[in-house]
Chains A and B, each alone.
Chain A
Amino acid sequence: MTHPGAPREPEGMAPGAGGCADTPVLRERGQREVFCGLTGIIWLHRKIQDAFFLVVGSRTCAHLLQSAAGVMIFAEPRFATAIIEERDLAGLADANEELDRVVTRLIQRRPDIRMLFLVGSCPSEVIKLDLSRAAQRLSQRFSPDVRVLNYSGSGIETTFTEGEDACLAALVPEMPAEPGTARSLLVVGALAEVVEDQFIRLFAALGVGPVRFLPSRRASELPAVGDGTRFLLAQPFLAGTARALEARGARHIPAPFPLGEEGTTAWLRAAVEVWGIGEERFAQATAQGRERARAALANHRATLDGKSIFFFPDSQLEVPLARFLSRELGMRPLEIGTPYLHRQHLAHELALLPAAAKLVEGQHVDRQLDRCREARPDMTVCGLGLANPLEAEGLTTKWSIELVFSPIQGYDQAGDLAGLFARPLVRRGKLKV
């Protein structure tokens, strides 16, 4: 949980390494204006349809989930919070009994649940409530109807999308073992169903398969994993899940991320090379998608070409997005802030970034706002807490959370992704008030 005595990272410039080797990275420490990992529940509970997420936390956690969900409250959600109260803090035995009582009530209410995640929070971790033991205990009690797992979505352990990483990493030990060494492809990271279906068709046309996805749409139908498994990351924030898969014998296929025509092509090509499929078949299978993506991007190029862009750290998608926007739409990244820079998973991406872009890892929000105001970018990508204040100062912004909640991967979403960035600029041009 905590890392006592862990040294603080030094502030200031540290030499970069890897692809974009000459670009120095500014490491900052200070106020971080980011979500915690609990926020991932907002999309994970929709993605995994027979799973329920029970946050063991405080009223703040419950309030975060409903505030971040905002207008998404349409049905009874498959998440809830077990709110720790004063009397639970009195003694730990008591807190465990209370948790069992809450889980029992929940499972009675929702007999459709097949998998329950106990999600750790800042308070549960500070009081050292052992959720892995609780999960084992409750798993035994509700076996075989409900499997109980745990992971941490706390702000002290995870930043925003790292909550998905922690959740998927918790699923990896549950994946059935694949006997033998027959090759299969695993696509890792929650994707919109429409995007999954497109990738299934593309891989079929390419002759790559069998193809499986983590997370699966149902927790009870987790894909198998073994020595023959090769995996592609669909999202850049899955370091822990990748390690857990490697421990099960799977091997990572390094690639850029499937954003834009170029990113999607390179991502698919990485798999195709492992499968040893010829260039001709690759060109044939991807031609139509590439053409459609290029045509869709051309519609937005006039709006975005030459425009400067500034990223506040948020989802770890910042580097792939900056690569896509600069190379395929001609935008000029000024500063690319990201909560963490995973050099290994981003190696291909960093190599493709323009040299002028400044990379910033971590955050000191006030200093970053100073730099942003000074740079006056044509577009600022930031969280919901900063967007309206910056708009009021005359800057054009794009809410970063929309990039996590929207289908943006693959050929047929490349135009939509560009559109997300073009819309605020087009809108600003339209308004005469």
Chain B
Amino acid sequence: MQLAVWTYEGPPHVGAMRIATAMQGVHYVLHAPQGDTYADLLFTMIERREKRPPVTWTTFQARDLGGDTAELFMEAARDAYARFQPEAMLVGASCTAELIQDDPGGLAKTLGLPVPVVPLELPAYQRKENWGAAETFYRLVRAFAGPAQTRAPRDPARAPRCNILGPTALGFRHRDDVAEVTKLLTGMGIEVVVTAPMGATPTDLTHLRDADFNVVLYPEIAQVAAEYLKRQLGQPYTRIVPIGVGATRDFMAEVAAFAGLPVPLTDGGDALRLPWYARSVDSNYLTGKRIFIFGDATHAIAAARIAQEELGFAVVGLGTYSREFGREIRAAAEKYGCEALISDDYLEVEERIAALQPELVLGTQMERHIAKKLGVPCAVISAPVHVQDFPARYAPQMGFEGANVIFDTWVHPLMMGLEEHLLGMFREDFEFRDGVAPSHLGHGAQAEPPAAPIAVGPASWVHEAEAELRKIPFFVRGKARRNTERFAEERGIALITLETLYDAKAHFSR
């Protein structure tokens, strides 16, 4: 048993729902107890979808368990076909139905429905949402991609073609990433045959074979399917995810190689602003800011590269809840000289952030809460998603426009450079009272409440030192307190004086 306060991923059948909901013409019949239908609201409320997810739930109750739950499932599957007339059906079980072992796949087969039925086996007590999404997408691709083939070289008379794999419903900025990457590929003279699962029908999946190669946007979801297509149809697939300026350029080079095109010379043109904004003198204050990064593996690894190479931050912690990609995260952490954290335990992530005392957290909505509690600025870079992660405006993470969006999103929560100095110099100005928000966030903005000390050290403070500590701007005061207490503790100092405070400041200054 695992004690969970919050979870980063839902159960695997929610991953399957993300695939079914992203596609057209697919209906998913889920054997599940009453109450599991809560998952519908993820799509209608968080993503504000205008249609219910294409899912029929059996919603069995105790009285059904004594009777025939298998018959209930068959009835639901028959009715769902009659009502929704899908091109293909997915059938499976949620965690509770898995225990009663009705075998939805076998039952559906006996119904003799006139459309393909793809059974899903998603072990709910071992696996999680992203795995469920990847497995479902793979099963669908397998069912519709067609027989094996050996690829002939492309006729030079026709444009190179690719598929875009991975975007789902309830994905972090998937809608805009697809638009941005499609534009990028089209600009290179590459045709996009199928984008899947988002917007694709089962029939569209039969055209996957018409492409020369596959572009994998989100390895967590599409890598298994892409690997299958590589074996089955001989289509190579991209390994570089185009998040950030450098990664987008590398991605274009990788794509050009698959397409047999010369490496494009484009640097993003005038529309790419991140490189100049990062060089602009006002960004000097970003130098060496200590950043903690946590998210799904794809977004976390991309964020680390951007933070280090494109914004001049210092990555002090890098982690993921995607255990399947632990190796990749460890390699990236080693590259940036920090320790990797591979965990889906929210409490462990909280402890690590508290211990590292970063100046900016790049994380999920959960790290946003941790950061809020600790009084540290935060920007969200990854799922699990929140209604705020579906902005009305165009806000991709990928491609050159994605880099611009990332610059704004990460830099805005930070106190601006000169403002930070002014607050330091004139900290007794009555308008610089505690809790004042950065001025660029507007008058209405309330700063987060100052952090409660995480652990109270054994040392106590003399009045004078405590008063001096209060002169330090609130947004760094927690760190100053913790550093000083740690400094005192390590040296066996029981009483923190003014001298201890400044000794600690000198010790920790970079």
Which residues on A are within 8 Å of B, measured CB to CB? 1-6, 8, 31-39, 56, 58-60, 62-64, 66-68, 70, 73, 76-77, 80-86, 88-89, 95, 98-99, 101-102, 105-106, 122-123, 125-127, 154-157, 159, 366, 383-389, 392
Q: With contacts A59-B10, A73-B6 known, is A389 near B95, CB below 8 A?
A: no
B67 adjacent to A384 (CB under 8 Å)? no
Residues of chain B within 8 A of A77, CB atoms compared: 5
In the complex, residue of chain A having the shortest beta-carbon distance to the beta carbon of B44: A388
Between-chain CB contacts (< 8 Å), 26 pairs:
A2-B66, A31-B76, A32-B34, A32-B59, A33-B40, A35-B38, A38-B35, A60-B13, A60-B14, A60-B95, A62-B6, A63-B39, A67-B38, A77-B5, A80-B4, A85-B1, A85-B126, A86-B125, A101-B1, A102-B1, A122-B95, A159-B34, A388-B50, A389-B50, A392-B50, A392-B51
Q: With contacts A2-B65, A62-B7, A98-B1 known, is A32 near B37, CB below 8 A?
A: yes
Bound CA–CA A335/B510 (angstroms): 69
Pick the 4 closest A-B CB pairs, nearest first. A36-B35, A155-B35, A385-B40, A4-B66
In the complex, residue of chain A having the shortest beta-carbon distance to the beta carbon of B42: A67
Name the distance in Å between A93's Cβ and chain B's nearest Cβ.
Answer: 13
A102 adjacent to B3 (CB under 8 Å)? yes
A122 adjacent to B2 (CB under 8 Å)? no
Bound CA–CA A127/B125 (angstroms): 13
Residues of chain B within 8 A of A56, CB atoms compared: 1
* Given A4-B65, A8-B64, A122-B95, 12 other A-B residues pairs in contact with their CB atoms under 8 A: A5-B66, A31-B37, A32-B37, A34-B35, A39-B38, A59-B7, A67-B38, A67-B41, A84-B1, A89-B125, A159-B34, A389-B52
B49 interface residue (CB < 8 Å to A): yes
In the complex, residue of chain A having the shortest beta-carbon distance to the beta carbon of B37: A33
Bound CA–CA A422/B56 (angstroms): 32
Neighbour of A155 across the interface among B11, B33, B41, B369, CB < 8 A: B33
Bound CA–CA A60/B83 (angstroms): 27
B44 adjacent to A1 (CB under 8 Å)? no
Bound CA–CA A86/B95 (angstroms): 11
Residues of chain B within 8 A of A80, CB atoms compared: 3-5
Query: Using a CB-CB cutoff of 8 Å, which residues 131-164 of chain B contact chain A?
Result: none
A99 adjacent to B35 (CB under 8 Å)? no
Q: How many residues of chain B get a CB closer than 8 Å to chain A's CBs? A: 55
Residues of chain A within 8 A of B63, CB atoms compared: 3, 6, 8
A156 adjacent to B34 (CB under 8 Å)? yes
In the complex, residue of chain A having the shortest beta-carbon distance to the beta carbon of B1: A98
Neighbour of A366 across the interface among B2, B51, B83, B125, CB < 8 A: B83
Q: With contacts A127-B99, A389-B49 known, is A64 near B38, CB below 8 A?
A: yes
Bound CA–CA A125/B9 (angstroms): 23
B311 interface residue (CB < 8 Å to A): no
Residues of chain B within 8 A of A31, CB atoms compared: 37, 56-59, 76
B323 interface residue (CB < 8 Å to A): no
In the complex, residue of chain A having the shortest beta-carbon distance to the beta carbon of B347: A109
Query: Using a CB-CB cutoff of 8 Å, which residues 22-62 of chain B contact chain A?
Result: 33-42, 44-45, 48-52, 56-62
Q: Mark B57-86, 1 if CB is under 8 A from A, else 0.
A: 111111111110000000010010001000
Residues of chain A within 8 A of B96, CB atoms compared: 58, 60, 122-123, 126, 155-156
A389 adjacent to B44 (CB under 8 Å)? yes
Name the distance in Å between B180's Cβ and chain A's nearest Cβ.
Answer: 26
Residues of chain B within 8 A of A366, CB atoms compared: 79, 83
Give the residue among A5, A31, A36, A63 with the most B Cβ atoms within 10 A.
Answer: A63
Which residues on B are within 8 Å of A, measured CB to CB? 1-7, 9-11, 13-14, 33-42, 44-45, 48-52, 56-67, 76, 79, 83, 94-96, 99-100, 123-126, 128, 369
Bound CA–CA A35/B34 (angstroms): 7
Name the distance in Å between A10's Cβ and chain B's nearest Cβ.
Answer: 13
Neighbour of A3 across the interface among B39, B41, B62, B79, CB < 8 A: B62
Neighbour of A63 across the interface among B10, B79, B125, CB < 8 A: B10
In the complex, residue of chain B having the shortest beta-carbon distance to the beta carbon of A55: B4
In the complex, residue of chain B having the shortest beta-carbon distance to the beta carbon of A76: B5
Neighbour of B95 across the interface among A32, A59, A68, CB < 8 A: A59
Q: With contacts A64-B38, A155-B33, A156-B60 known, is A387 near B1, CB below 8 A?
A: no
Name the distance in Å between A69's Cβ and chain B's nearest Cβ.
Answer: 9
Residues of chain B within 8 A of A33, CB atoms compared: 37, 40
Residues of chain B within 8 A of A8, CB atoms compared: 63-64, 67
Bound CA–CA A52/B29 (angstroms): 35
Residues of chain A within 8 A of B52, CB atoms compared: 385-386, 389
Give the residue among A1, A32, A60, A64 with the most B Cβ atoms within 10 A.
Answer: A60
In the complex, residue of chain A having the shortest beta-carbon distance to the beta carbon of B45: A384
Neighbour of A122 across the interface among B13, B35, B56, B76, CB < 8 A: B35
Bound CA–CA A58/B99 (angstroms): 12
Q: With contacts A32-B59, A34-B37, A126-B100 known, is A82 near B50, CB below 8 A?
A: no
